[in-house]
Amino acid sequence: MNFRRSSRDEPEINLIPFIDVLLVVLIFLMLSTTYSKFTELQIKLPVADADQQRDYPKEVIVAVSSDGRYMVSKVPVPGRSIEALAAAIVAAAKAGKDSVIIISADASATHQSVITVMEAARRSGMTQITFATQSAAQAGAR
């Protein structure tokens, strides 16, 4: 005779492994997701509220036209190669490697034209590069 009460434990669902699996799947989805919203952006550059441009001896102003021509300190650069542009930057840099390169690119200039100026400055040993913009008031007046 069995006088003991048969006690059956209720089965429990352990949620911790389930949560771990869901977190791993979530992290995997976050890392593998690509964002293709960049093609939908309509960007019009450059406009900024900035002070009036000053003329300092350490500045070398490199102008980039919309068709990819370059001018270094108001002197046209013959050709469009990086070497010719680097030589013109070195010739115009009065302060040597301490000079600041100011890239004044047309709003419709290609990205490659600006990158070419940056590469020429790097090859010339110039490390200080900045970009010139125009104020919103000046952009509206044109």
Where in the chain are the domains? 59-141
Q: Model's pTM, two decimal places?
A: 0.57
Contacts of 49 (CB under 8 A, 6+ apart): 135, 136
Q: What is the pLDDT of residues 27-69, one digit of tens each?
A: 988 888 766 554 444 555 566 655 555 555 688 889 898 888 8
By the 10 Å C-beta count (0-12 exposed, 13-18 middle, 19+ buried), 88 is classed as buried
Fold of 59-141: Nucleotidyltransferase; domain 5 (3.30.420)
Report the pLDDT value the prediction gives residue 38, as an integer from 0 to 100. 47
Give the containing element (helix H, strand E) for 72.
Answer: strand 70-72
Report the pLDDT value the prediction gives residue 46, as an integer from 0 to 100. 61
**Mean model confidence pLDDT for the chain:** 79
Report the pLDDT value the prediction gives residue 39, as an integer from 0 to 100. 46
Give the containing element (helix H, strand E) for 105.
Answer: strand 100-105
Q: Which residue has the tokens 């021509």?
A: 69
CB 100 within 8 A of CB 55: no
Residue 72, pLDDT > 70, answer yes
The Cα 64–Cα 106 span in angstroms is: 6
* Higher per-residue pLDDT: 25 or 33: 25
Report the pLDDT value the prediction gives residue 49, as an integer from 0 to 100. 59
Q: Band of the pLDDT at 6, cuts 50, 70, 90?
A: low
What Rg, from alpha-carbon coordinates, does the chain have?
30
Q: What is the pLDDT of residues 87-130, one digit of tens each?
A: 999 988 887 788 889 998 888 888 899 999 999 999 988 888 88
